[in-house]
Amino acid sequence: MTQPKRLYTIIAFTENRIGLLNRITIIFTRRHINIESLTTSECEVDGVHRFTITVRTTEERAVKVVKQIEKLIEVIRASLHTEEDTMYQELALFKIDAHRIAADGSFTAFLSTLKKYNAEIQSSEKDYIIVQKIGRRVEIFMLLDALKEYHVLEFAKSGRVAMTRSAMDLDGYLHEVEQRSLIPDTLSTN
């Protein structure tokens, strides 16, 4: 019986090294797993970067990918999480035709749409209005559909930014690893 495909979030803490992104993506390519989104950034520990990768695959394949990522020298820690294990958001920007809104006289309806979807105006220019929405993917695409009547000139969406619901932080993990390395290996003295 084949496992069902689900959306998983992989979080990897790494050193910031040239070529690491390529080595990580090759792991997915070799296993024929498409990356749904990928976000990288600095994290709370100096010199450490966080990769947040979402994939739709089976649990078995996701576990294998995480194990492969952890084998990379620059990777400090990699972990696999379900939707329920994480708190996450995505950011979207929409460029809307200001002339269309003005011509229709529908600015009040436009503002009502933004309020309904918890979005806000970031910039209002002569030719366009830039709207920002922070939320989950499904909410962002519902807003995109609603804004189409106002003529969306441009749309951009970030990848997922996620945190696990577990209590252990990266500093705690690094401290734990350091403590383990300070404990003498009593088995090797035999």
How far is the CA of 145 from the CAs of 75, 83, 122, in angstroms?
39, 24, 19
Label the pairing between strands 86-97 and 128-135: antiparallel
Rounded to 5°, angle at Cα 29 from 23 and 33: 125
End-to-end CA gap in the chain: 47
Among the listed residues 131, 135, 69, 59, the one whose alpha carbon sits nearest the alpha carbon of residue 97: 131
CATH code linked to domain 89-157: 3.30.70.1150
**pLDDT for position 47:** 87
Segments of the chain scoring below 50 in pLDDT: 186-190
- Domain(s) labelled CATH 3.30.70.260 in the chain stretch across 6-81
Model pTM? 0.79
Residue 36 neighbours by CB under 8 Å, 6+ apart:
7, 54, 55, 56
Please answer whether residues 144 and 152 qualify as being in contact, where contact means their C-beta atoms are separated by less than 8 angstroms.
yes
Assigned architecture for domain 6-81? 2-Layer Sandwich (3.30)
